[in-house]
């Protein structure tokens, strides 16, 4: 069994490596999508990671779908994929294999009661989101940011392979914003969302304050330049999400 961190990264390799090293140390394999930006980036990426795609960035959803598809096609034992970012850290207390086996057991038990599913659905047809990082929880009853989205989700192989009529686990029309919110809503719709407060994947978001005051929002000027385009599309992404939610997320149906 192998577990894959499947992420796009716009950061210089030496900067992204600080986070990616943490994932490798916990037993994760890395699939990285980065813009074609010269031989230096290509060489460093291909040396450090198991799968590297260096093509023009197609947006977050399409990039992650591509990486997961390549891992499934190339690696027979690839079972779980984490759709996060290069500013997210792995849970420090459990290995990739430990968490994957817990997910397999949980979703086998959850899905085996549905006799319409074939057997190989059972262990990896699901989405698991660690919610131990309580950033944004102001004690007002609304919870933390990560309660409302699947922002660093574990996506099972069969969920990835079958959802959206076999097109991948993320709706490709989103560039960046709201892709994680639709993932949560769709997993809930099909009854296969598992939120785990006992696992913590810290999100070192650019707007996050220091560890002693993580809920403080930093100045907008600290936003990385590569996120500016994503934020500019916020209104249109929200409109798309609201329309799709009202319609029941058309096209999300799994293939047999």
Q: What is the pLDDT of residues 237-252, one digit of tens each?
A: 999 999 999 999 999 9
* More confident position, 139 or 50: 50
Give, in order, the Cα–Cα distances in Å from 213 to each of 8, 122, 166, 254.
28, 41, 43, 42
Residue 251 lies in a domain: no
Number of domain units in the chain: 1
Q: How far is CA 94 from the centre of its chain?
A: 18
Average pLDDT, the chain: 85
Predicted local distance difference test score (pLDDT) of residue 57: 87
Residue 252 lies in a domain: no
Predicted local distance difference test score (pLDDT) of residue 110: 84
Predicted local distance difference test score (pLDDT) of residue 227: 67
* More confident position, 212 or 56: 56
Give me the mean pLDDT over the 29-53 stretch: 67
What CATH number should be reported for the domain holding residue 237?
A: 3.90.550
Residue 116 lies in a domain: yes
pLDDT digits (tens, 9 = 90+) for 66-105: 999 999 999 999 999 999 999 999 999 999 999 999 999 9
Predicted local distance difference test score (pLDDT) of residue 30: 94
Domain with 206, as residue range(s), is: 2-246
**Residue 114 pLDDT > 70:** no
pLDDT cut 70: percent of the chain above it: 80
Residue 253 lies in a domain: no
Task: Report helix, strand or coil for 228.
Answer: helix
Give me the mean pLDDT over the 201-208 stretch: 82
With a CB cutoff of 8 Å and minimum separation 6, the contacts of 250 are 244
CB 124 within 8 A of CB 158: yes
Give me the mean pLDDT over the 203-227 stretch: 62
At residue 160 the predicted structure's pLDDT band, cuts being 50, 70 and 90, is very high
Task: Report helix, strand or coil for 139.
Answer: coil
In sequence order, what E strands does 39-95 have?
51-54, 78-83
Residue 255 lies in a domain: no
At residue 224 the predicted structure's pLDDT band, cuts being 50, 70 and 90, is low
Residue 256 lies in a domain: no
Give me the mean pLDDT over the 147-175 stretch: 95
Q: What is the pTM of this model?
A: 0.87
| Straight-line distance from the first to the last Cα atom of the chain, in angstroms, rounded to the nearest whole number | 23
Predicted local distance difference test score (pLDDT) of residue 132: 94
Residue 32 lies in a domain: yes
Task: Work out the number of other CB atoms within 10 angstroms of the CB of residue 209.
Answer: 13
Residue 254 lies in a domain: no
């Amino acid at each position: 069994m192998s577990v894959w961190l499947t992420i796009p990264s716009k950061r210089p390799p030496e900067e992204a490596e600080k986070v990616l090293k943490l994932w490798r140390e916990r037993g994760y394999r890395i699939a990285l999508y980065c813009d074609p930006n010269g031989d230096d980036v290509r060489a460093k990426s291909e040396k450090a990671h198991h799968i590297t795609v260096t093509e023009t960035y197609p947006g977050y959803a399409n990039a992650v779908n591509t990486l997961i598809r390549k891992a499934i096609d190339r690696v027979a034992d690839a079972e779980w994929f984490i759709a996060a970012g290069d500013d997210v850290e792995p849970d420090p207390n459990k290995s990739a294999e430990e968490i994957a086996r817990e997910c397999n057991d949980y979703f086998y038990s959850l899905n085996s009661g549905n006799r319409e599913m074939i057997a190989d659905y059972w262990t990896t047809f699901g989405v698991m989101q660690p919610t131990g990082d309580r950033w944004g929880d102001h004690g007002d009853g609304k919870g933390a940011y990560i309660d409302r989205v699947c922002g660093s989700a574990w996506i099972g192989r069969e969920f990835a392979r079958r959802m959206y009529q076999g097109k991948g686990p993320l709706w490709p029309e989103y560039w960046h914003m709201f892709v994680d919110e639709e993932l949560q809503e769709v997993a809930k719709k099909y009854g296969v969302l598992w939120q785990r407060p006992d696992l913590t994947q810290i999100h070192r978001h650019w707007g996050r304050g220091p560890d002693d005051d993580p809920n403080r929002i930093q100045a907008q000027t600290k936003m990385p330049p590569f996120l500016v385009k994503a934020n500019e599309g916020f209104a249109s992404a929200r409109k798309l999400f609201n329309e799709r939610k009202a319609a029941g997320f058309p096209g999300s149906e799994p293939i047999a």
